[in-house]
Amino acid sequence: MLPHIVAPNLNLAVQPLTQDAFAEFGTVVENAANATGRSVEPKVVKANQGSALKYIDVSHVSNLYHLAPSGNPARAVMNMFVCSPRQLQPVTSGSDTAQERASKFPVQILERHPFTPQTFVPLGLAADDATTVYLVIVAPTFKTTEKPLPYPQHAPKRERSWTEIFSRAQPSPFDNSSDPSASSDSSHGPQPPKGPGEPDLSRARAFLANGSQAVTYGPGTWHAPMVVLGAKAIDFVVVQYANDVGLEDCQEMEIRTESGSEGLNVVVDDARLGPEIRQRAKL
């Protein structure tokens, strides 16, 4: 049975996916010439005999498994997720007009990867595709350590190198001593992992992404599985590290509702969706 957290009535309004808005949670990977909402300009140089522009360090694929309790080494992995379109539900309201203007997606599970970032790259979907988009749903980590999730506690003893000894002498990235809401940008280097706490649903966010945008979840960032809306499945190439130790590779949290509560929902203003997406996404 998965650990769970109870959500009261929480409705997340969808906003466009931009780097500045998403910085707390990771990185938006897109052509900077077409990007909006980015206060830090990426580094760019000419390449391929002047026929291309090379944007440098658009995201980071860092391996933080030396911090994992088991000590099992990780390897770089590249997988593909074929994500089918999901269905939206009508917003229950006393106003028929409100129901016509918005729909919702109930969030039932969040997950995180404690020691690796995870990058989702959509294939075969153009920025101006009027038939298919996807939602990116994320939440910060509670700073409290009163109720941490169960990382493996009893790692087998082994000899450590001097590098490991000195790296572990530094402040722990899991003590929540820093504010997880502090924003960061890929130009400032890889994000450290978040702490061991539960997701803070009161500060969850939801973003609407188009086909020209890839996204990197920072290590330990709580996020929902990809939510595709519209006409067709999206093939995502997913890049991360993994060491095949279950709780160190992925932790999941079930989102439950109280009696009479509607739980955690992403509310999508129909004006943000094209006509074909609205038609296919609604139940």
User: How many domains are contained in the chain?
Assistant: 1
**Distance (Å, rounded) from C-alpha 46 to C-alpha 213?**
22
Rounded average pLDDT over 162-166: 52
Question: What count of other Cβ atoms lies within 10 Å of the Cβ of residue 47?
Answer: 11
Residue with tokens 């729909």: 103
Contact 171, 102 (CB under 8 A): no
Short-list 261, 6, 16, CA closest to 136: 16
pLDDT at residue 155 tops 50: no
- Per-residue model confidence as pLDDT tens digits over 251-282: 999 999 887 788 999 999 888 888 888 888 87
Strands 102-106 and 109-112, sheet pairing = unpaired
- Residue 13 token pair: 């309004």
Q: How far is CA 159 from the centre of its chain?
A: 35
**Distance (Å, rounded) from C-alpha 135 to C-alpha 176?**
28
Q: Which residue has the higher pLDDT, 50 or 155?
A: 50
Q: Which residue has the higher pLDDT, 150 or 205?
A: 205
Burial string for 76-85 (b: 16+ CB within 10 Å, else e) reads eeeeeeebeb
Residue with tokens 């130009």: 187
Which CATH number characterizes residue 250's domain?
2.60.120.480
- Per-residue model confidence as pLDDT tens digits over 56-78: 999 988 999 998 989 999 999 99
Q: How confident is the model at residue 179 (pLDDT cuts 50, 70, 90)?
A: very low
pLDDT value of residue 185: 47
pLDDT value of residue 164: 52
Which structural domain range is residue 256 located in?
4-281
**Distance (Å, rounded) from C-alpha 240 to C-alpha 106?**
27
Q: How far is CA 262 from the centre of its chain?
A: 23
Q: Identity (one letter) of the amino acid at 59?
A: S
